[in-house]
Chain A
Amino acid sequence: MVGHVVHKKLYILVFAALLALTALTTGVAFIDLGKWNTVAALAIAVCKASLVVLFFMHLRWSSGLMRMVLLAAFVWFAILVTLTLSDEFTRPWTPVPSNWEAQIQQQVR
């Protein structure tokens, strides 16, 4: 036999946890927590994804090679999000002068 055989009970336990987290994230969405609503929703989603990756996708029993591929995927995704959002969030740091059109016109002449 090849690969690690996981006990049936563990799969059912993970499944129960996933359903519980789904109920939790749905419930939390109906309570006003301000900005923390988004944080809670994403944190719970990351927990659920981790459970699926570790147990259903057998990463817990896989070799370092598979872990490296997954890590690489998320590092590249993090670069994409970080660089894009760092542009958006820093735009107000250097306000555009209100007379920018006139300034450009002047430079053209």
Chain B
Amino acid sequence: MHSSTAALAEQFDDLEQQHEASSLGMWIFLATEVMFFGGLFTAYILFRNFYLPAFEAGSRLLDVRIGAFNTAVLLCSSLTMALAVRAAQLGKKGLLITFLLLTLLLGMTFVGVKLALEWRHDYLEGFVPGVNWTFHGPDSRHLELFFCFYFFLTGIHALHMVIGVGILTVLIIMAGRGRFSPQRYNAVEVSGLYWHFVDIVWIFLYPLLYLIGGRY
């Protein structure tokens, strides 16, 4: 009983209420994130309708193999994150640190592939508006707009991944110091919610950027 009273902050009635309060806070933050990404998604859908041929041509210039690979990497990281939360619930410290480290590695793989392979390739091919742009023609301005959306959407998503990697690093240090118990693992739980949300954003980005527009 001693550990559970130590885990409970004084403003809460019981552990269940404390747990729900922290999750609710993260869900409300994620609701604001839905609006944040939602604005960009809406603008993308709108301009895609305006300049459909250019946006479809832009989609076909992206490497679907890298997109599919990164989707798989991110789904794996969501699984390891879910298992990390489970390890925290069961109070298995070693397992918790292992799964957090795996999630961290997979997250870094995603960002690494994006930067070193994909964006580097886009730069060398001249797909980067304002930096290295090689297209000239009647539709080139509209194609440029597609690539602006592509870099903003994937860039802001990658920024969320980098923040997630930072959060995971803090969690691993906290777990190493034995700061979590089956009574109090709220930090792991809410970080998990954030990580899965970033995964969901990519679940929509992958088809919207890489797939629709006809690969056939």
Contacts and interface: CB of A to CB of B under 8 A. Distances in A.
Interface string A46-71: 00110011011100001101100110
Contact of A53 (B23, B45, B46, B200): B200
A29 B207 CA distance: 9
Contacts of A88: 46, 49-50
A77 B16 contact: no
Interface in B87-141: 89-90
B11 interface: no
A8 interface: yes
Please tell me the size bucket of the interface on B: 35 or more
Given A32-B214, A56-B81, A45 B207 contact: yes
B83 A29 contact: no
B27 A66 contact: yes
Contact of B207 (A11, A31, A44): A44
A76 B37 CA distance: 12
Interface string B60-85: 00001000100110011011011100
B216 A72 contact: no
Given A2-B89, A11-B86, 11 more contacts: A8-B86, A22-B68, A44-B207, A48-B203, A53-B196, A56-B79, A62-B23, A69-B24, A73-B31, A76-B35, A84-B46
Q: 7 nearest interchain CB pairs?
A: A73-B31, A41-B207, A29-B211, A73-B34, A15-B79, A69-B27, A2-B19
Interface of A: 1-3, 5-6, 8, 11-12, 15, 18-19, 22, 25-26, 29-32, 37-38, 41-42, 44-45, 48-49, 52-53, 55-57, 62-63, 65-66, 69-70, 72-74, 76-77, 80-81, 84-85, 88
Interface of B: 15-16, 18-20, 23-24, 27-28, 30-31, 34-35, 38-39, 41-42, 45-46, 49-50, 64, 68, 71-72, 75-76, 78-79, 81-83, 86, 89-90, 182-185, 189, 192-193, 196-197, 199-200, 203-204, 206-208, 210-212, 214-216
